[in-house]
Chain A
Amino acid sequence: EVQLVESGGGLVQPGGSLRLSCEGSGFTFSSFWMTWVRQAPGKGLEWVATIKQDGGETSSVDSVKGRYTISRDNAKNSLYLQMNSLRAEDTAVYFCARARVVITVTSFDWYFDLWGRGTLVTVS
């Protein structure tokens, strides 16, 4: 079965750290860009970060730059999100997702075609 399973969420105090993991199965994990998306309670989706197949390129939303690090271990079919200096506003369900690329003459766009069920991070 093709799936993504997140783990590592929990309750952490402001200023603390947490590391999320996401394990993929049923597909060739190393062939895909991967991403993290979060959703605060009762709010909409917010893209967090994306990483290239070999880990050589990453991008992230401005609000987490310098605090969060996305990484991967293709040998373990795993994606990670290291979260430092956590704030109350980081409280959310964090989803990992497989990213697909649309390449045109003028742009390099992503969409997300496979999602995990999410893991809840509470900063309080």
Chain B
Amino acid sequence: SYVLTQPPSVSVAPGQTAMITCGGDSIGIKSVHWYQQKPGQAPVLVVYDDSGRPSGIPARFSASRSGNTATLTITSAEAGDEADYYCQVTENNSDQNVFGTGTKVSVL
């Protein structure tokens, strides 16, 4: 089955930039989506289709892809950005949706 690998944790100082990676075979040819989940809450879509931002999501959240890695970038990190972040793709050969392993972002 298709696997998306993320680092378990990322730490960032307030005001600095956090980068969360998502690795998977041929991810460079897939649409990648990103979700934020705070403790006890439902996930929230923060980036869709590689670069789209839903209404209400600040421009501090952006994403990119290169080779077999997709990256979510949070610029000027704030305490409220502390959460788990997941990438997600659709594996078209099997019509299966796959989430990444998740990354806990700490703003220290």
Task: Name A's B-contacting residues (CB within 8 A).
Answer: 35, 37, 44-47, 50, 59, 61-62, 95, 100, 102, 104, 106-113, 115-118
Question: A62 near B1 (CB under 8 angstroms)?
Answer: yes
With A and B bound together, what is the CA distance between A106 and B90 in angstroms?
Answer: 12
Residues from 28 to 58 in B contacting A, C-beta threshold 8 Å: 29-31, 33, 35, 37, 41-45, 48-49, 54
23 contacts between A and B (CB under 8 A): A35-B97, A37-B99, A44-B86, A44-B100, A45-B43, A45-B99, A45-B102, A47-B88, A47-B99, A62-B1, A102-B31, A104-B31, A109-B31, A109-B90, A109-B92, A110-B90, A111-B45, A111-B88, A112-B35, A112-B43, A113-B45, A117-B41, A117-B42
The listed residue (A45, A102, A106) touching B86 by CB distance below 8 A is A45
Q: Is the CB of B101 closer than 8 A to any CB of chain A?
A: yes
Residues of A within 8 A of B48 (CB): 100, 102, 111, 113
Question: B102 near A44 (CB under 8 angstroms)?
Answer: yes
The listed residue (B41, B84, B96) touching A47 by CB distance below 8 A is B96
Q: Report the count of interface residues on B (CB-CB < 8 A).
A: 29
Question: A111 near B33 (CB under 8 angstroms)?
Answer: yes
The listed residue (B49, B98, B99) touching A102 by CB distance below 8 A is B49
Question: A95 near B96 (CB under 8 angstroms)?
Answer: no
Residues of B within 8 A of A112 (CB): 33, 35, 43, 45, 88
Q: Is the CB of B89 closer than 8 A to any CB of chain A?
A: yes
Question: B96 near A116 (CB under 8 angstroms)?
Answer: no
Q: Identify the interface centre among B35, B42, B86: most chain A CB within 10 Å of its CB.
A: B42
Nearest B residue to A49 via CB reads B97
